Amino acid sequence: VIWFVSAFRIEAVPSFNIYVQDNVWFDFGEGKGGNVLDFMMHYDRTDSIREALRRLESLAPAGSLEFAAAAKATSMQSPKKATKQESDPAIELKKVKPLENRALTSYLKKRGVSVETAQLYVQEIYYRYGEKDYFALAFPNQSGGYELRNPYFKGTYGTKDITLLHHASGNRAEVVTVFEGFIDYLSALTHYGRQEATTPVIVLNSVAMRDRAIETIRALAARTLHLYLDRDASGQAMAAYFRDHLPSLDIVDHSGLYAGHKDVSEWLEAASRQRNSRG
Give the model's pLDDT for residue 59: 67
With a cut of 70, which residues of the chain have pLDDT below it? Answer: 1, 10-13, 19-23, 28-32, 57-90, 278-279
Cβ atoms of 208 and 83 within 8 Å: the answer is yes
Give the model's pLDDT for residue 206: 87
Pairing mode of beta strands 175-179, 201-203? parallel
Give the model's pLDDT for residue 168: 84
Give the model's pLDDT for residue 153: 80
Predicted TM-score (pTM) of this structure: 0.69
Helix, strand, coil share of the chain (percent; to 5) = 40, 25, 35
Give the model's pLDDT for residue 215: 94
Measured CA to CA, the distance from residue 160 to residue 82 in angstroms comes to 9
Measured CA to CA, the distance from residue 178 to residue 185 in angstroms comes to 9
Kindly report, residue by residue over 168-182, the tens digit of the pLDDT: 877 899 999 999 999
Measured CA to CA, the distance from residue 115 to residue 142 in angstroms comes to 23
Give the model's pLDDT for residue 178: 98
Give me the helices (H) in the chain, please: 36-44, 49-59, 65-75, 102-110, 115-118, 182-192, 210-219, 233-245, 264-278
Locate the DSSP E strands across 106-186. 123-129, 132-140, 146-150, 153-157, 163-165, 175-179
